[in-house]
Amino acid sequence: MSGLAAWAADPAGSRGRRHAEPAPAFRTEYQRDRDRIVHSAAFRRLEYKTQVFVNHEGDMFRTRLTHSLEVSQIGRTIARALSVNEDLTEAICLAHDLGHTPFGHAGQDALNGCMRGYGGFEHNLQSLRVVDLLEERYAEFPGLNLTFETREGILKHCSKENAKKLGDVGERFLNGGRPGIEAQIANLADEIAYNNHDVDDGLRAGLLGVEQLAECRLFRDQLDAVRSRWPDLPERRLVHELVRRMIDYVVSDVVARTRQQLAAHAPRSIDDVRKAGTPLVGMSDETRDRHLELKRFLNRNLYQHAQVQRMTGQAADVVRDLFGLFMESPRLLPPDVQERTRAEDGAAAARARPIADYIAGMTDRFALAEHRRLAGSAKAAASAPGGERA
């Protein structure tokens, strides 16, 4: 593609797909990946999956879908500034949370606890599983059959034990390699979006205050600049202006720092980026310190807030209850999931992974509805004569 830097991913030089397909007529390979992701069921379900606040807590809070779109916007801006592949960056950004459970990190932690002894659960690995296996859209193959480069970017981290099972996409976790530069951009765009937009949601929920956040340098510097120019700005507009400026500050720093790294390492191809001993996309030390300070502040004051903890604690109970009910009575599952749980020896391990897939695919509100229905049925059965299950 014209205009791309030497170290960018060129769709004409892609390592290809797991199942060979004719080249697209009107799109590049990475545009096709992006379009398949947008049309997937897993992507649509992100609309009703938690970012920080459970979906039913309020219509104005971010969901996994709006978060993914915001990550994509940030990622494309950085990719364009660095003359690398915007389409690939966008595809990775849009797909990075496809494997997330309902109820955010509380749901993931609960499901991982349930899967202890069965291989565990990690949403990043689950996102790859969704695009490689679980999506059912095509006659010729399971999953979305994405290019290697998109799959490489989706898999941000992975244990060596799991990497050994993943073939070419797992190799870099065994040999110490790096992903392509578009994947590195998507990873950092996720961090930037997460930090800054959680500030917005925390303020909107009334769990954080502007003056409280001013203890963080990244926030305080922008607050001082905005107030000096617009001292009477209403808080809602003040917050939007602050979040916008914080994102711009960090993104500008990432572009400047990454240009320095690229000049120093002088990669001549995407493979040179993969072989570099360090990530080439990053923040300056000062901005990284400020970013981490804000992240730690949010962990103490938002994610650990009593209201959020109460909400996420209840959500984790829902996930654990559903897993236990399905493990005990697979007949409660939809027929297609029941079929995947069957094994000749009837081992629990054969049931656990398909059950985890099913729960991970639930939206917040579907999980809550299923829990009310199934837990209510279980209580009714337990109180029946003899205590037998219905």
Of the candidates 105, 99, 93, 113, the one whose C-alpha atom is nearest the C-alpha of residue 54 is 105
Of the candidates 287, 104, 75, 64, the one whose C-alpha atom is nearest the C-alpha of residue 188 is 75
pTM as predicted: 0.92
Of the candidates 99, 100, 84, the one whose C-alpha atom is nearest the C-alpha of residue 30 is 84
**Cα(359)–Cα(343) distance, rounded to whole angstroms?**
20
CA dihedral (154, 156, 159, 160) in degrees, to 10, reads 80
Q: Torsion-angle region of residue 279: left (phi > 0), alpha (psi -120 to 50) or beta?
A: beta
Q: In this structure, are residues 139 and 98 in contact, taking their beta carbons and an 8 Å threshold?
A: no
Q: In this structure, are residues 163 and 175 in contact, taking their beta carbons and an 8 Å threshold?
A: no
DSSP reduced 3-state for 261: helix
DSSP reduced 3-state for 169: helix
DSSP reduced 3-state for 190: helix
CA dihedral (263, 257, 33, 131) in degrees, to 10, reads 120
**Residue 58 CB contacts under 8 Å (≥ 6 apart), including other chains:** 205
Burial class (CB in 10 A: 0-12, 13-18, 19+), 162: middle
Class of domain 26-306: mainly alpha
- DSSP of 5-52, one letter per residue? -TTSPPGGG---BSS--PPPSSS-HHHHHHHHHHTSHHHHHGGGSBSS
| Residue limits of CATH 1.10.3210.10 in the chain | 26-306
Of the candidates 154, 184, 195, the one whose C-alpha atom is nearest the C-alpha of residue 281 is 184
pLDDT the model gives residue 241: 96
**Cα(364)–Cα(103) distance, rounded to whole angstroms?**
6
Q: In this structure, are residues 14 and 89 in contact, taking their beta carbons and an 8 Å threshold?
A: no
Per-residue pLDDT of the chain (390 residues; tens, 9 = 90+): 568 999 999 999 999 999 999 999 999 999 999 999 999 999 999 999 876 655 445 445 778 999 999 999 999 999 999 999 999 999 999 999 999 999 988 899 999 999 999 999 999 999 999 999 999 999 999 999 999 999 999 999 888 888 898 999 999 999 989 999 999 999 999 999 999 989 998 998 889 999 999 999 999 999 999 999 999 999 999 999 999 999 999 999 999 999 999 999 999 999 999 999 899 999 999 999 999 999 999 999 998 888 888 888 888 999 999 999 999 999 999 999 998 887 644 577 778 999 999 999 999 999 999 999 998 665 544 444 444 333
**Residue 289 CB contacts under 8 Å (≥ 6 apart), including other chains:** none
pLDDT the model gives residue 303: 86
The number of residues in the chain equals 390
pLDDT the model gives residue 304: 86
Question: CB atoms < 10 A from the CB of 259, how many?
Answer: 13
pLDDT the model gives residue 53: 59
